[in-house]
Structure 1
Amino acid sequence: MNCLGCRIARGMEPDLNIVYENEYLTCVLDIAPFNEGHLLILPKQHYLDVEELDSETAKAIMAASQKLSIALKQVFRPDGISICQNGGIFNDLTHYHMHLIPRYKGDGFSWSAPKTSHGAELRLRETKDRMIWSLKDTPHR
């Protein structure tokens, strides 16, 4: 099995720190945590991006993110939690995964502004209309 994400989700990698697991997913501590408690939620079935998830797996991921957020807050008392996933070429694992990162004021984690101005703020109405038009033809799972 070539996919590292599949091997992690199926418990096939050595020294995994599995925190939670069910029939759809496995949740492990990130091996390069941004902060203590940084978790990854990985589906056991292979998916690359969020739009590929079937509805049962998507619901299981969201339910796990809620359950684990509660646990992170109880254990680490963070100032907040960032939840994110990276798709396309930004998915370095090439297997869908969601990050849950306990956050603290001044921890250095940032959502930075684009390096160059793209002017998207000037096209909000046009962007909204394009999105609404696209949603009319988008199949729902």
Structure 2
Amino acid sequence: MPSCIFCDIINGKADARIIFEDDLVCCFLDKFPINPGHVLVVPKRHAAEFTDVDPESLQAVILAAQQAAGAIESTFKTDGITVMQNNGAFKDVEHYHMHIVPRYRGDGFGWTEPETDVSSIDFDSLEIKIREAMAEWPIVS
């Protein structure tokens, strides 16, 4: 496996401003934040993609993200929180991670949606395709 900056942080080989960690997750400040207080929540077991994360780690990630969001909201008196993660070509580190971003009205960060002609979308076909694909992905409880 090539070098992974998040694995290096988890193993103490790279510096980070760690705000929380336990046996399954490590939470630290993003070095290139969207807003001050932007936190990354990273499973300690390396997994490149969201769909590769083991269920125990994924549960720990979402619970730590919830805890971080609450702490950020109360500490910084935010107008809101954005919780997001990117997959595939849209992520910048090959180790699954979740972003917890403090948000403020007018902060300039946003989600730009393309103009889509929804009348041309075959929702019936999409529903069937996704329903069939989901049947192949077992839900772990």
Compute the TM-score of the two structures, normalised by the length of structure 1.
0.90
The SS at the match of 1:138 is coil
Shifted more, 122-131 versus 67-76: the winner is 122-131
Q: 2:10 — aligned with what? A: 9
1:92-133 alpha-carbon deviations (Å, 9 max, x no partner) = 11111100000011111111123x757586222321221111
Give the aligned length. 139
Q: 2:138 — aligned with what? A: 139
1:18-29 equivalence runs, <5 A: 18-29=18-29
For 2:38 and 2:22, locate their aligned partners in 1 and report how far apart those are by CA, in whole Å.
19
For 1:120 and 1:89, locate their aligned partners in 2 and report how far apart those are by CA, in whole Å.
29
Q: 1:136 to 1:117 in 2, by over 3 A?
A: same
1:22-50 alpha-carbon deviations (Å, 9 max, x no partner) = 10111000001111100001111110111
Shift of 1:3: 1.0
Query: Structure 2: which 5+ residue stretches go unaligned?
Result: none
Report percent identity of matched pairs. 34
Q: Which one-letter code corresponds to 2:44 in the other structure?
A: K
Query: Does structure 2 retain, via aligned residues, the 8 Å contact 1:19–1:27?
Result: yes
Q: 1:121 to 1:64 in 2, by over 3 A?
A: farther
Q: 1:44 — aligned with what? A: 44
The SS at the match of 1:11 is coil
Q: 2:126 — aligned with what? A: 127
Q: 1:121 to 1:35 in 2, by over 3 A?
A: farther
Query: Does structure 2 retain, via aligned residues, the 8 Å contact 1:49–1:96?
Result: yes
Q: Which one-letter code corresponds to 2:103 in the other structure?
A: R
CA-based RMSD: 1.8
Shift of 1:137: 2.0
